[in-house]
Chains A and B, each alone.
Chain A
Amino acid sequence: MIAYNRQQLDNLEVLREADLAFRKELITSEELAAIQQQHRLNIYKPNFFIRVGLVITTVFIVVALFCLVGLALDISDESTFTVMCFFWALFCYVALELIIYSRHHFESGVDDALLWLSGAFFYVMILETGNWDTDSTASFMTLLLTGTVLAVRFFSAGMATAAFIGLTGIFYNAGINIGAPLLIPFTLIAVSAGVYILSQQALSNPSAKYHTMPLEMLCILALGVAYASGNYFMVKESGIVADVPLPMMIFCWIWTIAIPILYIYQGIRSKDMLILRTGLILVAAGAFTIRYYYEVMATEVIMILAGSVLILIARIITRYLRQPRHGFTAEAPEDNDEMTGNIEALIVAETFHDTPQKPDDGFKFGGGSGMGGGASGNF
């Protein structure tokens, strides 16, 4: 069912775990050496940055070849284009299977790019054949089926995302077509809940251990879409109904506010970082929704209040977790590498940098985005 060699994937997992255990001094160096001796790897898995480079070059090669043949065959003819898309989807897919089978590529960048290109060419071909729009049910069906097959075979989180978009799209269109727009939020909530429960069950099943990434992706998407479906802003502004009836409005407001809190509570209780983090992000979404409809205070007052409250919350939790409690700690995780620190510093510099400006730029304060530089003038 999966394209990659199971034995090799198992070996990779064992080596990673053994390496981690050795660094924590849980196993001896003799044991590590014996494990390494016993679990040989022959997969091709280059460094992350080389992977990025290989994604770029692979896309270049495939697209350039497409243009080359397209120009020779007169691509402006629609049926030529469709047939070419079919052959390129096939060509990419065969190449993908081949490099995995004979060259043992795994997360090498080449396989990532070929997987995406193959899926994309196939999707475009289907749309061209039936002259369907991207938001038609046929398009969503294609996404769902192709995405599922590819996500299962190559355990790609991106393909799982495509499949999930397809699934929700089908139900959305169905709601519009049967003329019951107010059912759409509830249907999508039910579908997301179903996907979440199934993914959670699959995650705890050892036979799905290779598919952790797409399954976790599905969980995040399901949590997000379940919230968005009942969020007042989404229901009102998506234009599915001209006027939101009062009971629906009450439901939406409760949903908008309660769900993030519920997620956080559930995340802390079950020590599930995935749902906890989603909840934290959705608190912001809920706050923006309220802010959009009710001008309780001026923006800057809210910014100051919210900023102070956030700093205070961080302070309280840090104090509280000075000694680890309930399995949580405020200390940095063990696998914290230097790169994260560098990225953090860059983000901080990007959003905060506030260099003095020339008077004619207007005089602005604050650390928000878009206030930077002012340095393009002559000196």
Chain B
Amino acid sequence: MQTRVFEKLFSEGMISSESLHRVKDAESRRLISVHWELNIILYLGVLLLSGGLGIIIYQNIDTIGHQAMLALIAVLCAGSYYYAWLHRKPFSWQKVPSRGPFAEYAVLLGCLLAAIFISYLQAQYDVFGDRYGLAFLFPMILYFFSAYYFDHLGALCLGIIAFGGWLGISIAPFHILRDNDYTSFRMIFSGFLVGITLMTAAYISDRYERKQHFAFTYNNFGLHSCFLSHIAAIHQLGDFGVAWLIPMAIFCGIIYLMARRERSFYFMLIMVLYAYAGLSYVFLLLTSRISEGGMLYALYFAVTAFIIARLLIYFNKSMRT
């Protein structure tokens, strides 16, 4: 806080001298938090350590022996979970305050080691055979259990990503566009399925107060998955893509109501941008038949972008009051 602001307020008679003293006192005792710096150091440490261990294991697979390797991973994994369990807070369906960064990262390390363990089993012993789904299912269950039991958002994200993988799509933030083949209807269908399931999970979390603070994460993944599938569907349907605007409009309506209810500017912006992308795609598709028109496109974007800007300004105004 800026003490000069309060000194000015005091001289104007807006605050009492006790208040001014309290502010000055608090300001003189103010502590500088290195919480995030420590978190980042820890994050880099875990990233480097797990990465380095991974490479060493990979390189020495022949000399160390598979059983020994599996045993080592299992012991480390159990150790991480044991540490997290020692430092746990009693379970609650509400948000549980943090147990400190070390316990948080122990949960994460446990999750990662468990995934490595299962990958190893699958790669070396082919335990799941061709049913790759199972290789996603087990870590997924563990991730979700860790997320709920230890109240861990990171584990929840891992669980959601594994859930997407189980159903055959990649929904990690920077992989969602790169790794997915959105030209197949199977993929589009999976995208919808994952998205709608996640958004249902968000609704349930919120409505029945089961880890209410997880709702945002569920919604965030679900929303992007659904919207990307909408856009892909419009693209794939070709001339019938226009018809797909109707289900997309209904979906946008639902998101609109949700964003209004939760006062989430983020969801509102995402909805507007995806809707705009879908509409523009259909417009370009239809007009490309009748004219070459670069000028038509320029005019289209100038006018529509103005309308979208007005719309955003309107949403901002109506959601604040």
Residues of A in contact with B (beta carbons under 8 Å apart):
13-14, 17-18, 20-21, 24, 26-28, 31, 34-35, 38, 46-50, 52-54, 56-58, 60-61, 63-65, 67-68, 71-72, 110, 206, 271, 273, 276-277, 280, 299-315, 317-318, 321, 324, 327-333, 336, 338, 340-342, 344-359, 363-368, 372-379
The reply to whether A27 and B22 form a contact with Cβ atoms under 8 Å apart is yes
The reply to whether B54 and A355 form a contact with Cβ atoms under 8 Å apart is no
Given contacts A310-B42, A355-B115, is CB(A60)–CB(B122) below 8 Å?
no
The distance from the CB of B151 to the nearest CB of chain A, in whole angstroms, is: 11
Given contacts A56-B273, A64-B299, A348-B157, is CB(A376)–CB(B170) below 8 Å?
yes
Pairs A-B, 8 closest by C-beta atoms = A366-B54, A307-B49, A303-B52, A310-B45, A365-B54, A307-B48, A349-B157, A60-B305
Given contacts A31-B19, A52-B269, A344-B154, is CB(A304)–CB(B298) below 8 Å?
no
Interface check B185, CB cutoff 8 A:
no
The distance from the CB of A4 to the nearest CB of chain B, in whole angstroms, is: 18
Identity of the chain A residue whose Cβ is nearest the Cβ of B186 in the assembled complex: A378
Interface check B294, CB cutoff 8 A:
yes
A1 to B275, CA, bound (A): 41
Chain B residues numbered 25-56 whose CB sits less than 8 Å from any CB in chain A:
26, 30-56
Given contacts A17-B6, A271-B32, is CB(A54)–CB(B312) below 8 Å?
yes
Interface check B286, CB cutoff 8 A:
no
Q: Which A residues lie within 8 Å of B59 (CB)?
A: 300
The reply to whether B312 and A53 form a contact with Cβ atoms under 8 Å apart is yes
Q: Which B residues lie within 8 Å of A60 (CB)?
A: 301-302, 305
The reply to whether B56 and A277 form a contact with Cβ atoms under 8 Å apart is no
Main secondary structure of the interface of B (DSSP, over half): helix
Q: Of residues B38, B52, B136, B139, which shows the largest number of chain A Cβ atoms within 10 Å of its Cβ?
A: B52
Interface check B246, CB cutoff 8 A:
no
The reply to whether B26 and A24 form a contact with Cβ atoms under 8 Å apart is yes
The reply to whether A365 and B34 form a contact with Cβ atoms under 8 Å apart is no
Q: Which B residues lie within 8 Å of A306 (CB)?
A: 45, 48
The reply to whether A57 and B6 form a contact with Cβ atoms under 8 Å apart is no
Chain B residues numbered 164-208 whose CB sits less than 8 Å from any CB in chain A:
164-165, 167-170, 172-175, 179-181, 186
Identity of the chain B residue whose Cβ is nearest the Cβ of A363 in the assembled complex: B123
The reply to whether A356 and B122 form a contact with Cβ atoms under 8 Å apart is yes
| Cross-chain pair count, CB within 8 angstroms | 330
The reply to whether A352 and B101 form a contact with Cβ atoms under 8 Å apart is no
Q: Which A residues lie within 8 Å of B44 (CB)?
A: 307, 310
A60 to B1, CA, bound (A): 39
| The residue from A18, A48, A71, A307 contacting B46, defined by CB atoms under 8 A apart | A307
Interface size class, chain B: 35 or more
The reply to whether A333 and B35 form a contact with Cβ atoms under 8 Å apart is yes
The distance from the CB of B265 to the nearest CB of chain A, in whole angstroms, is: 4
| The residue from A21, A329, A338 contacting B33, defined by CB atoms under 8 A apart | A329
Q: Which A residues lie within 8 Å of B116 (CB)?
A: 354, 365
Additional A-B contact list (7), CB under 8 Å, known A17-B1, A356-B115: A47-B316, A318-B101, A327-B31, A354-B119, A364-B54, A368-B54, A379-B132
The reply to whether B313 and A327 form a contact with Cβ atoms under 8 Å apart is no
Q: Which B residues lie within 8 Å of A330 (CB)?
A: 33-35, 38
Q: Of residues A68, A307, A353, A364, which shows the largest number of chain B Cβ atoms within 10 Å of its Cβ?
A: A353
The 0/1 profile, CB within 8 Å of A marked 1, for residues 275-301 of chain B is 000000000000000000011011111
Q: Which A residues lie within 8 Å of B164 (CB)?
A: 375
Q: Of residues A27, A333, A368, A375, which shows the largest number of chain B Cβ atoms within 10 Å of its Cβ?
A: A375
Interface check B133, CB cutoff 8 A:
yes
Given contacts A13-B5, A34-B14, A307-B46, is CB(A373)–CB(B51) below 8 Å?
no
